[in-house]
Amino acid sequence: MKKRVLACLLAAVMTAGLLAGCGGGEKSGGGGSSEQVLNISTNSVVVGLNPLVNTTAPDNIAHNMIYDPLIRDRSAKDNTDEIVPAAAESWDVSEDGLTYTFHMNPDAKWSDGSKVTANDFEFTFKQMADPNTAATNAWLFDGVIVNFSEALYNNGKTPDEIGVKALDEETLEIQLVHPASYFLQLVAGSAYPVNQAKYEEYGSEYGTAPDKTVYNGPLKVTSWNQNTEMVLEKNDQYWGQEDMQLDKVNYKVIQESSTAVQAFINGELDVVSTSDTNWGKTITAAGDSQEMTVPSSAPDFFMFNLKNEYLSNTKIRQALSIAFDRQEMVDTLRDGMSVPIYSMMPDTMKVGDKTYTELVDGKNYFVTQMQEEYTDPKALLQEGLAELGKSTDPSQMTIRYASRGTSELSKKIGEWMKQVWEEKLGIYVQIDMMEWNIMWDKIDAGDYDIACGGWGPYYNEPSALLQPFEPVNGYFNADKTGWNNEDSQKFTELLNQAKDVVDDKEKAEIYLQAEQLVVGNALIAPMYLEASPTYVKNHVKNYYVTTNGLVDFSQVSVEN
């Protein structure tokens, strides 16, 4: 589960930090015409091309280029995203929201010339549900697709019994346990297909080399040196290849961000993301790129361990949450490269077609509401101490803060929070500096008072950020948070209730009640969303940076 958190956070950082460059107008072999070549880079290697088991952030970027899921959730202008057809040309949803029927694109082919069929996707989902596959994204469909959980955990069902069936080569039917407005996003980002015939032929070697992989997306891999570079070229069997302008992508491994930024400044790269304001000023002064700054979808937050006697009290936790100014925090510590948050939900989070914030009329800004209601956080803390039968002298209260790593930023956050909490509340804060992995080991063991956490949602719907706090099965379960009381029981009931609700506003209101228990009652204290600017060279077109959605490389072009 810890790997899930790391993968989530890496995915958020790596997607925003995707680095791209122009190939300088490489010439093709025919007629002297100019090829459109894009160079993109990552700071880590692509582990493999098998979408069932290789799901690191660099892997996912590669999969987005070489595979067509049933549909795409692609980035668009002005920090928006859109669901568009891919391997399926259309889809239907039953009135009760429980049955999705996908109609396959008749022109979709694999790179070996064979037809992409509904059977390939049935095979892919059944492989994911097979515990022997150890598919890393399988948990996303746990409790969503009929019988998927039972098959995945050997609980009375087999992969052949899950609710995914090819009615014929052109039609795929998927049955859900409960309505899920985010299901299309799950399908778009977490269910890249494998070619059944070649998967069975290559076995464990599938996806380990260009010639051990079959592609149905815009690009195919032509060469790959894992530590240095992957070269991809237009897939001539891709159904939309005639409308593509991009001919080639060089996917390079550049570990140092400063090296990538310097390459961008030198004209070797087209896109770079940096949180260094000095680099940003240099890039802006050159005038040959546009800046795109959007917040991530992954909130950073302080998490409180209710096993601590002081932190078992709601008012004490609320006092800790409202005692610090989030805008001042990001201005001081993040140099403006983050957006303060007063809800655990980004403003881009949706329930159906509308944002969660819009559906609940902004009532999700629980931190703001608490700060307006409790203008003196120290007095609120003292009320909590009195409820515990403790001395109301805050100086007798000591709280440990576990840092998230030993980087300069982690040190600054720890020191700043110690100063704020001690000045505003009068308590004593003990900073325990430790490496990132050590902190998570302590969280796993419940050995902390306050720690700095974060979560990157796999889909854009409130349950993606609420479910991790489910006290039994969530990542931040009661063993880690100590949250095992009436509030946590009510929280579980609300999440289960929301699953069966189809009306978007009604569902959002249920999520609001659940978030009240997590943020309003201060199980966590939201801090900020990362928002590092990305700079895109002017000659790169249709390359959009968004909070949700992935770059559609079939639409990108490079003007030579």
What 8-state DSSP symbol labels residue 340? Answer: E
Q: Output 393 or 1, whichever has higher pLDDT.
A: 393
Lowest-pLDDT choice from 18-27, 86-95, 285-294: 18-27
The DSSP secondary structure of 475-519, one letter per residue, reads TT-HHHH---SHHHHHHHHHHHHHHT---HHHHHHHHHHHHIIII
Return the biggest CA–CA distance within the chain: 86
Q: Looking at residue 361, what is its pLDDT? A: 98
What 8-state DSSP symbol labels residue 396? Answer: G
Query: Is the pLDDT reported for residue 405 higher than 80?
Result: yes
pLDDT in tens, 325-381: 999 999 999 887 899 999 999 999 999 889 999 999 999 999 999 999 999 999 999
- Residue 546 burial (CB count, 10 A): 23
pLDDT in tens, 497-532: 999 898 999 999 999 999 999 999 999 999 999 998
Q: Looking at residue 159, what is its pLDDT? A: 98
The DSSP secondary structure of 158-202, one letter per residue, reads -GGGSSEEEEETTEEEEEBSS--TTHHHHHHHH-----HHHHHHH
Q: Looking at residue 270, what is its pLDDT? A: 85
Query: In 3D, which of 492, 493, 498, 496 has the Cα closest to residue 511?
Result: 498
Q: Looking at residue 4, what is its pLDDT? A: 38
Tell me the C-alpha distance between 255 and 44, whole Å: 6
Q: Looking at residue 29, what is its pLDDT? A: 35
Q: Looking at residue 236, what is its pLDDT? A: 97
pLDDT in tens, 451-494: 999 998 988 999 999 999 999 988 999 999 999 999 999 999 99
Q: Which residue has the tokens 């290559």?
A: 202
pLDDT in tens, 7-50: 343 333 333 334 444 434 343 333 345 899 998 888 889 999 99
Q: Looking at residue 33, what is its pLDDT? A: 55
Amino acid at site 498: A
What 8-state DSSP symbol labels residue 28? Answer: P
Query: In 3D, which of 452, 479, 477 has the Cα closest to residue 467?
Result: 477
Average pLDDT of the segment spanning 275-298: 90
Lowest-pLDDT choice from 61-75, 279-293, 389-403: 279-293
Query: What percentage of the chain carries pLDDT values higher than 90?
Result: 78
Q: Looking at residue 131, what is its pLDDT? A: 96
Tell me the C-alpha distance between 297 and 11, whole Å: 11
Which residues touch 4 (CB under 8 Å, ≥6 apart)? 139, 475
Report the residue count for the chain: 560
Query: What percentage of the chain carries pLDDT values higher than 70?
Result: 94
Structure tokens given for 101: 């029927």
Helix, strand or coil, per DSSP, at residue 240: coil
Q: Output 539 or 458, whichever has higher pLDDT.
A: 539
How far is C-alpha 524 from the chain's CA centre? 19
Sequence-distant contacts of 142-149: CB under 8 A, at least 24 apart: 143/177, 144/176, 144/177, 144/178, 144/180, 144/183, 144/186, 145/174, 145/175, 145/176, 145/177, 146/175, 146/176, 146/177
Summary mean pLDDT of the chain:
91
Q: Which residue has the tokens 């996707």?
A: 121
Query: Is the pLDDT reported for residue 137 higher than 50?
Result: yes
Query: In 3D, which of 213, 215, 210 has the Cα closest to residue 234?
Result: 215
